[in-house]
């Protein structure tokens, strides 16, 4: 391997390179993912340079001393198979040493991830449909900006292995997005975000205490953006109610990943998890 290959941390401006690489791979990043992702851990984004040319990237976000998440693992196509990817992966793993590390791996790379100590926990499947539909009649639907953030963060805590307040605050308030919840008896019983992407929109997260609340919020999000546009929802295969939701609205599977961890699979509330926040940051 060329001795001039250097790995270092990215600046915020350089992180746009990673977003563009993700777009070139067909991952359809959100229009404002860069700011939200980078703020989650500005020490957790790595750039691989060959003769000062950026050719590889990786995110290794350390949410806490016990949990991290790897994503955006990309090497430019013309440089693959030469060891540059393994070197940047090792830099990210070294940064997250001691953490239980998660990732959403493309299926073609599962054997490769296993070499780094990752074990498959379950599949996440991306479904595509169209925005619009019938506006739900539910007086409990509110903008998440209208309730205390602490209430949202507490609700989020059962769906993610550790606190992610820094990321979540930005995610809920990002431009070109709608963040809604449902309140019943002064309690948050569902929350979700729909954001504009390079193509159409993505919904994520989508959390709800019942299939009925999930469907209501799904419709509310889809009817608060331009109708007739592609919309994507990433579901856990092991939530049958999430599968029933996407099938009810004739959404089609277009992509899937394997959620993998280096240690134990976290005890997330999968029954109420109808939409993964993102494949890049978990």
Instruction: Look at residue 175 in the predicted model and tell me its pLDDT.
Output: 97
Distance set, CA 127 to CA 50, 167, 249, 270 (Å): 37, 24, 10, 17
Contact 168, 205 (CB under 8 A): no
Taking each helix axis from N to C end, the angle separating 165-173 and 149-156, rounded to the nearest 10 degrees, works out to: 120
The tokens for 57 are 């990237």
Where in the chain are all domains bearing CATH 3.40.630.30?
5-123
Which residues have CB under 8 Å from 171's CB, separation 6+?
36, 179, 193, 277
User: Can you give the pLDDT at residue 135?
Assistant: 83
Residue intervals in the chain for CATH 3.40.630.90: 126-275
pTM: 0.95
Q: What does the block give as tokens for 62?
A: 């350390």
Dihedral angle, C-alpha 149, 154, 158, 163, nearest 10 °: 70
Domain 5-123 has CATH 3.30.390.50: no
pLDDT averages per 10-residue partition of the chain, 282 residues: 84 96 95 96 97 97 98 96 96 98 94 96 98 87 96 97 97 97 96 98 98 97 97 97 98 97 96 97 96
126-275: in CATH 3.30.1360.120: no
């Amino acid at each position: 391997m060329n001795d001039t290959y250097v790995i270092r941390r990215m600046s915020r401006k350089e992180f746009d390179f990673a977003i563009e690489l993700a777009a070139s791979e067909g991952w359809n990043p959100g229009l404002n993912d860069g700011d939200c992702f980078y703020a989650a851990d500005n020490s957790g984004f790595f750039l691989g340079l060959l003769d000062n040319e950026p050719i590889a990237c990786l995110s290794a976000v350390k949410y806490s001393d016990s949990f991290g998440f790897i994503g955006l693992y990309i090497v430019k196509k013309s440089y693959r198979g030469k060891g540059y990817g393994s070197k940047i992966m090792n830099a990210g793993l070294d940064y997250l040493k001691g953490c239980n590390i998660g990732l959403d791996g493309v299926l073609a790379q599962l054997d490769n991830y296993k070499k780094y100590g990752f074990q498959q926990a379950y599949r996440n499947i991306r479904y595509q449909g169209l925005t619009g539909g019938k506006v739900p009649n539910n007086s409990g639907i509110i903008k998440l900006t209208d309730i205390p953030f602490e209430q949202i963060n507490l609700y989020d805590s059962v769906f993610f292995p550790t606190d992610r307040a820094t990321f979540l605050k930005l995610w809920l308030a990002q431009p070109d997005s709608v963040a809604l919840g449902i309140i019943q008896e002064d309690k948050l019983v569902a929350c979700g975000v729909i954001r504009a992407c390079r193509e159409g929109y993505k919904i994520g997260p989508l959390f709800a205490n019942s299939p009925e609340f999930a469907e209501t919020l799904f419709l509310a999000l889809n009817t608060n953006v331009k109708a007739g546009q592609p919309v994507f929802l990433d579901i856990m295969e092991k939530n049958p109610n999430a599968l029933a939701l996407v099938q009810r609205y004739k959404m089609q599977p277009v992509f899937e990943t394997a959620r993998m961890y280096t240690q134990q699979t976290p005890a997330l509330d999968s029954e109420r998890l109808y939409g993964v926040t993102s494949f890049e940051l978990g």
